Each structure stands twice: as C-alpha cells, then as structure tokens.
Structure 1
C-alpha cells in the first residue's frame, strides 16, 4: 500500500477538511483529493463522506491501521537517519548531485527539493555534467549521484530508470524537416541530418544514443559538449541535435524546432550511483528519487 495515499487520507480525517489537510502536507487540494480517490479505488469502498467530511465505518477502521503503519514507517526513517548522522560523510562534505543537460525533466528538481526537506542539515551541491562525463564524474568521485542518459555501460556504476520518453531531433526552423514538428518524422528522414560532433573520449553508449544507434550517419564540423552548445549549432544552421521529448520544454530557443522521431525506440533517463558506494546519504537520495519517479515519471513520459 502506498504510504503517501495513507498520509493524505489520515490528514483529511484528522483535519476534517481537504484544504487544511493539503496545507498541512504542503500539497495542493486536488492532489490530496486524488490520493483519497485512488485509495478508495484500490480498496473498492468509500472511505470518506464529503459533506461534511467525515470517515465512513470503513474509513474509521482504516484510519486506525494508517496511524500504526505511518508510525512504523516514520520510525524506520528515523532509524536510517540516525545511522546516516553517525556516518563520517555527513560532516565531511555535501551530497554532490551531477546533472547532464536537463536531467530527468521535472523529476530532477523535485528529487533535490525532497532530499533537502528530508535532510536539511546536509548541504547539496549541484554540478552540471557535459556529454563526456556520462560515467567519469561518478567513477572519478566528482559527484555522488548523477542524472544521466542512457544507462552507463560500466560495471562500476548502477542506474535506475526514472523516465522513458519519445525521441526528438532539433533542427533549424529554416530546415525542411521543421514542417514535421506536429506530424513527426521517421528514422529514414534523419539519416542525412548534419548531427553535431562530440570528442573522441565520449562513452560509446552515449554516442549510440545521440546518433540513434548510428542511424544518423552525417556529422557536421560543429562540436558540442552541452545542450546550449548543441542549440548554438542548430540555430546557426551548422548542426542538428537529438534528445528526449522533455528537452523541448527546457530549451525552447528561438530558431530551433523539435521534431518527434516516430519510429525511434523510446529512451530513458536514469539516476546513476557508484556500485560500491555505501554512503547512507546516497541511499536516501536514491530512495526518495525512485519514490518520486513512480508518481511523476509517467506524467513526464507522456
């Protein structure tokens, strides 16, 4: 059972009001209402009378169980936090979060903010990663967690899927393919686009992702290491770029058009950590991010 749904339900029972429950939980009233509806749907019974707000007999019984379950969950979190506080890491340095491009869209800032609320005494340091740091930032101990794509092909790193999205290409608005921004293109349409270049030490898994497993054959003379450098090449007409669908929400540059690639396999964004890392702060950040991915990920992937 999803503890977030129980928490929202119990807050409504105790406050006797959806709005006050939402304020207590730092959520919007529609979110709390949706949580209660999902819980009622999962259990197959009505849990709350709406006017006025009060628990049904089933709701009263669930409220008793909810208090016990949430108390146990909070005790478990407190125990983990106590262990984390005793770890030398907590006093030595901040949690270093690496972000490639826009990370995992809206999930990235949501994860960072959730961690800051849960662990306010631990500093968080955000570090922007370029395309060559897909694996190296972690294995060289320059970051502790990293939002990357695609999954790193390195046994020293483990990665969790966060979002899965449609692929897009970025072209100048003057390019003929820009007319397909609403209808979409196919892999055969992008083979001759002049995609930007990356340095030779860029990981092969990243270049395969970037060039659609080499379906995109042409390379321009324009080198890029960041999304901003990619788009500089796009709007100047010197290069084409590629990414996930959410890329367009974060990099809406005048002169750049984003075209869905209809038959390209969907790709995922990941949270990557060192396989041997036992730092409790990393484990807490990872757990929070995966919990949020279950809630936000499907919406980002649409």
Structure 2
C-alpha cells in the first residue's frame, strides 16, 4: 500500500466514480482501476462494488475513508513543511465554509492571508451545516472550517475559537414591505412570504423558531443556493431572513436591509483539526486566534 493508491481511492470516493476521478487526476481510467485493484489486493477485500459505470463503497471502503484522509493529509503536511521551510512561499490550504460565512468573514480573512502569503493557494469547499463543517475537518477532508451556530462548538472533535457574532436581518426589495425602515419586529413577519434556507442551517432554525412562537408566515421558496437569495428578493418573490454578512452585498444591489428585533445572533467560529497542521493552516489559525489564545 502507498499514499498514491490512497489518493486514487479518495478521488473515486469524492468524484463518485472511476471516470470522473481519472479525469481529475489526469490519468487513464485503466491505470486508476489498476491502482485501486492493487490496493484491494493489499487489503484483502473489495473497496467498491462495480455496478456498470458506478462505484458503490463496500463496508470496508467506508471504513477506509477516514484513515486514508488522515494518511494523505499527513503526507501533505510533511511535504509542505519541507518545501516551504515555514516561509510559506507556496502551498495549499483547504477550507470548508457555510455559505453565509463564505461571504463574511471568510472574504476578509482570505484577503488578509493572501496579502501576507501570496504564493499559497486557498481552496474553499461549500458545505451547508455546522455539522458538515465539523465532519469535513475531523475526517481530514479539509484542515480549517468556518461555521455559524447558536451555541459554542463542542471541542471534543475539533479545535475552535469564536471570531464574531452575526445578527439576523431582513432583506426586502426596494419599495417593498417595510421599505424605508431600519428595523422590523419579528412579529411583523406574520403574513409575509419568506425565502428560507434548507433544514439544518442556522438561518432555517431561526425562521422555524419564529413559527414555533406563533408567527404565521408563508415559505415562498426553500433554497440551498444562497446565490439565488438576492435575485429572488429583487424579483419580488419574497423577503429573505439572512445573517448580517449579507448586508453590504444586498445594499449594493439596491435591496434594503432591516435589523430584526429582538436581536438574535449566530456565533461564527473557526475550527481546525487536532494534531499537527500544515504551515499554511497553522499560519491561518494564528492570524485569526484571539490574542490570549482562548477559544
């Protein structure tokens, strides 16, 4: 068994099949299949059920994912440490982020990091829930993660520190309901058509909590695509409850943004995997960590 075989195995897992994985790896499909077959022989078990062009993980394959990611990530850390000699002249940092936090504060964090280390490539993976971020970091799919939650992040699986708190706001079209105002009471959302995120997100949990309080609104659209929020609002489809991170972009498009009272916030945290980090990840963590080193 070697790390290249594990990289090939993970590529098939992440891309959902041998053909797509081969294309991403720039190798022929037969070469990729041969490497995975060799890995299966070394392990003495099949990792995939081959069903036509599909590759479905076996139970053994499922069990291999996390240790394979850990092995590949450890080698990447070693390579980056030697190549850069901690000067960060090159390298790559993989970050998982929930959509709203990818707007802010991730944009500002990346800008600051790139100003210091222009040779490092940052790759941002889109995930939709705090649990998804934690799992991506814990399993080694990424080294760093940015998430928002109503409470502190449990530190048993990952390291975490609080970056900011973002309140919920209401985005309305120009001339629409509540236009010209700066605030709106949550009770006033009764009878309105709202555009909401999918279950499992902090935004959706907040909207659902309003309904639990007896505030009766209509869900006009439920969307996983956050890029659709502002176009839908501007098209008059409904009003969107989002976090503060959207304020600047929304106002630039001509939409109006109102604070929802009483104020309710999400806690934005940066998380990292436990253990040794790559030089790029260690620098990113240090750049954003509280001065006193607390979570």
> Taking structure 1 as the reference length, what is the TM-score of the superposition?
0.53
Name the residue aligned to 2:248: 249
Return the offset for 1:138. 4.4
Name the residue aligned to 1:136: 132
Quick check: 1:162–1:269 contact (8 Å CA) kept in 2?
Answer: yes
2:96 corresponds to which of 89, 95, 98: 98
Q: CA offsets per residue over residues 19-51 of structure 1, 9 Å max, x none?
A: xxxxxxxxxxxxxxxxxxxxxxxxxxxxxxxxx
Return the offset for 1:223. 2.5
- Secondary structure of the structure 2 residue equivalent to 1:103: helix
Quick check: 2:99–2:226 contact (8 Å CA) kept in 1?
Answer: yes
- Secondary structure of the structure 2 residue equivalent to 1:169: strand
2-side partners of 1:118 and 1:235: how far apart? 38
User: Superposition pairs for residues 79-158 of structure 1, below 5 Å?
Assistant: 87-88=77-78, 90=80, 94-103=92-101, 107-116=105-114, 122-127=120-125, 129=126, 132-140=128-136, 141-150=140-149, 156-158=157-159
Distance 1:228 1:252, change over 3 A: farther
Name the residue aligned to 2:237: 238
The answer as to 2:205 corresponding to 1:208 is yes
1-side partners of 2:245 and 2:149: how far apart? 15
Name the residue aligned to 1:168: 169
1-side partners of 2:238 and 2:133: how far apart? 27
- Secondary structure of the structure 2 residue equivalent to 1:279: coil
2-side partners of 1:157 and 1:194: how far apart? 38
Name the residue aligned to 2:180: 179
2-side partners of 1:258 and 1:211: how far apart? 20
Greater share of strand residues, 1 or 2?
Answer: 2
Which runs of 5 or more residues in structure 1 are unaligned?
1-83, 295-302
Name the residue aligned to 2:286: 287
Quick check: 2:164–2:268 contact (8 Å CA) kept in 1?
Answer: yes
Distance 1:157 1:173, change over 3 A: farther
1-side partners of 2:105 and 2:196: how far apart? 28
CA RMSD of aligned residues (A): 3.8
> Taking structure 2 as the reference length, what is the TM-score of the superposition?
0.55
2-side partners of 1:257 and 1:137: how far apart? 30
- Secondary structure of the structure 1 residue equivalent to 2:229: helix
- Secondary structure of the structure 1 residue equivalent to 2:219: strand
Quick check: 1:210–1:243 contact (8 Å CA) kept in 2?
Answer: no
Name the residue aligned to 1:21: none
User: Superposition pairs for residues 67-86 of structure 1, below 5 Å?
Assistant: none
1-side partners of 2:218 and 2:271: how far apart? 29
1-side partners of 2:203 and 2:272: how far apart? 17
Quick check: 1:170–1:258 contact (8 Å CA) kept in 2?
Answer: yes
1-side partners of 2:76 and 2:99: how far apart? 34
Quick check: 2:168–2:265 contact (8 Å CA) kept in 1?
Answer: yes
Quick check: 1:169–1:242 contact (8 Å CA) kept in 2?
Answer: yes
Name the residue aligned to 1:261: 260
